[in-house]
Amino acid sequence: MDRRDGISAQARAQGIIPDLSGKRSSNVKVSVAGLSKSYMKGSRGERFEALRNVNLDVYSGEFLSIIGPSGSGKTTLLKCIDGIANYQAGTVTVTRDPSATSLRDRAFVFQDFGLLPWRTILANVALPLELLGMHRKEREERAMSYLRLVGLEKTAKDHPHELSGGMRQRVGLARALAVDPDVLLMDEPLGALDEQTREVMQAEILRICGTGRTVIFVTHSVDEAIFVSDRVVVMSNSPGHIKAIFTVDIPKPRTQLATRAHPRFSELREAIWAELGVTTTLNPHA
Amino acid sequence: MRAMTTSDGVQTEQDLQQSGVAMSAAETSRRNRRFNLHESPTWRQVIILIVLIVIWQLSRYVYDLQPLLPYPSGIADQAWLMITGPGREDFFAAVSATSTTILLGFLISVLIGTVLGFIVGYYRLSRMALYPYINALYATPRIALLPLVVVWFGIGQETALAIIVLASAFHVAIGTAEGVRNSKGALVPVGKSFGANWWQLITKIVVPASIPYLLSSWKLAAGRAVVAAITAELFVDLGAGLGRLLSTYSAELELDKSFVVVIVIAILGFAFMGVFDLITLLVRRAQGLGSAQR
């Protein structure tokens, strides 16, 4: 299976990505159609086109990574999907499974963790439940079970500043999972961590959300994107648009060493870098 | 798969967790130590004070500047007389009048400043519209407005209150705006993302995130309020008050008594600002931050 999805140069330039997996389209979880966003930037008030006509379908249970240079709008796209950023044109549709147990359809994991420093770890994880009006006892029990899932039940009474970066992001992950979201949105969640912790956390994320949960994962790292994903979306800048989509046909479950040793890993790595490389030569300052 | 993951990472992960626990233990012990040490600079400060007082007193035997310069022994005598002597009701009336003015003016400043600061900090459009004016007023020497205030408010407590508000409300407003803006950048998006409504954003995120900023701005404002109250009393005769007492004694060249009043004012200001240090410490402990840097 050769997995550079066949997108014509013209279609790519227009940002139109054809849906190649017709058989899965009944299972579309998140549908982004014709999304465009621009905003005033800098003191001179120049219009910055963050996203132009982005179309993307994310399938149910899929782990999708978005990768691209700075300014390609990958974080902006994620925030538009979450609804914390607004946009001028287009639609974002999240299809909820009618039988779903989720309390919210979307939950976000922040790059800088976004923990409230005055709250205990448990109260941080319970925040989304508290905002939903869940009673204290119920929400604390539920938060505790998700803390247990990320292996941090012993830190429940601590405060965020007492934890290491990797532990803090586990809390961020537990908080997002506490609402059992239909779609988990992660914005460079491991960007602030050191290399070793990062690799440990990649495996952790796969263990916790790699099965059955729909995840959209923004990252700077090509290796990370391939390791965790079913598909990798490559974005490009000025204006931000989708350039290519790769399917990672490496069987799951995956482990760091075995995945990196897989022949497809280096092929995909090369192909994705090639897509990114074109961008860097065109925009040396990007 | 789990086994493979183990060979990959769990060892490292355990190390990480252990180091995390160790760090939190170190953090706790550092906090305790810091808390105990908090008392220890005090005795050095007291020694410096005593040494200065002794030098001041002894300098009299080198070159006596009386009555232009009072000496600690004379000041102490006068202080004792003012506190216990026949005129002590006047003295305590002055202390209580000035304290009341300061407290009232401060409370009004906090009220106005917090509302203004919140509006300016939370709403981008109002910040763009109002911030330049707040900054301009902040930079204006507000003592220049004193004659105008007297014209507007006449001679009475209102004048003193207006001067205090002018002097300290902007500190509160700017501190509040800073705190609210800070929370808006990093933590409000978190609340929004998890579906918080306006009220939840304010009560669960913006207010707790702004508290350190609020407290430090209140402390600054408290100091300014003391200065403004005394300034108002020196310029305008409001009846009883420490400022009035000060100008009376100075005019009568009763410098010993003047010094007593200055010291009382200093203690008043120090205690008032100290209250906020104490509140800050308690809040930090309640928020679990200890005395760690933030």
Model pLDDT, residue A130: 93
Model pLDDT, residue A210: 66
Band the pLDDT of A43: cuts 50, 70, 90. Answer: low
Band the pLDDT of B290: cuts 50, 70, 90. Answer: low
- B8 Cα to chain A: minimum distance (Å): 7
For residue A169, the tally of other CB atoms under 10 A from its CB is 29
Band the pLDDT of B112: cuts 50, 70, 90. Answer: very high
| Among A residues 148-167, those touching chain B with beta carbons less than 8 Å apart | 151, 154-155, 158-159, 161-164, 166-167
Model pLDDT, residue B255: 86
Q: Do A114 and B12 touch (CB under 8 A)?
A: no
Query: What does the pLDDT look like over B125-143, one tens digit per residue?
Result: 888 888 788 878 777 787 7
**Per-state percent for chain B, helix, strand, coil, to nearest 5:** 85, 0, 15
Tokens 């002055």, residue located = B94
Which residues in A lie closer than 8 A to residue B209 (C-beta atoms)?
A: 116, 118
Please provide the average confidence, as pLDDT, over all residues in chain A.
82
Of A128, A154, A161, the CB nearest to B292: A161
Band the pLDDT of A125: cuts 50, 70, 90. Answer: very high
Rounded Cα–Cα distance for residues B224 and B218 (Å): 10
Q: Is the pLDDT of residue B22 over 80?
A: no
Q: Do A128 and B287 touch (CB under 8 A)?
A: no
Model pLDDT, residue A42: 67
Which residues in A lie closer than 8 A to residue B187 (C-beta atoms)?
A: 114, 116
Rounded Cα–Cα distance for residues B231 and B163 (Å): 9
3-class secondary structure, A243: strand
Model pLDDT, residue B36: 52
Lowest mean pLDDT among A17-21, A55-59, B50-54, B95-99: A17-21
Evaluate whether A232 touches A245 at the Cβ level (below 8 Å): yes
Q: Do B195 and A154 touch (CB under 8 A)?
A: no
Model pLDDT, residue A26: 54
Q: What are the residue boundaries of the structural domains of chain B, listed by start?
A: 93-285
Model pLDDT, residue B2: 39
Superfamily of domain B93-285: MetI-like (1.10.3720.10)
Of B19, B24, B193, the CB nearest to A108: B193
pLDDT (average), residues B88-107: 91
Evaluate whether A77 touches A35 at the Cβ level (below 8 Å): yes
Band the pLDDT of B204: cuts 50, 70, 90. Answer: very high
Residues from B contacting A (CB-CB < 8 Å) are: 1-2, 4-5, 7-10, 12-13, 16-17, 19-21, 23-24, 27-28, 186-187, 189-196, 200, 204-205, 208-209, 211, 287-289, 292, 294
Band the pLDDT of A23: cuts 50, 70, 90. Answer: very low
pLDDT (average), residues B247-261: 87
Q: Which residues contact A3 (CB under 8 A, 6 or more apart)?
A: A246, A247, A248, A249, A268, A271
Return the closest-CA partner of residue A60 out of A211, A188, A175, A168: A211
Query: What does the pLDDT look like over A65-122, one tens digit per residue?
Result: 999 888 888 888 999 999 888 888 888 888 887 777 888 889 999 999 999 999 999 9
Q: Quick one: tokens of A169? A: 């992001």
Which residues in A lie closer than 8 A to residue B20 (C-beta atoms)?
A: 155, 163-164, 166-167
Query: What does the pLDDT look like over B261-280, one tens digit per residue?
Result: 999 999 999 999 889 889 88
Rounded Cα–Cα distance for residues B244 and B151 (Å): 20
Model pLDDT, residue A97: 75
Model pLDDT, residue B141: 81
Band the pLDDT of B289: cuts 50, 70, 90. Answer: low
Measured distance between the N- and C-terminal CA atoms of chain B, rounded to whole angstroms: 42
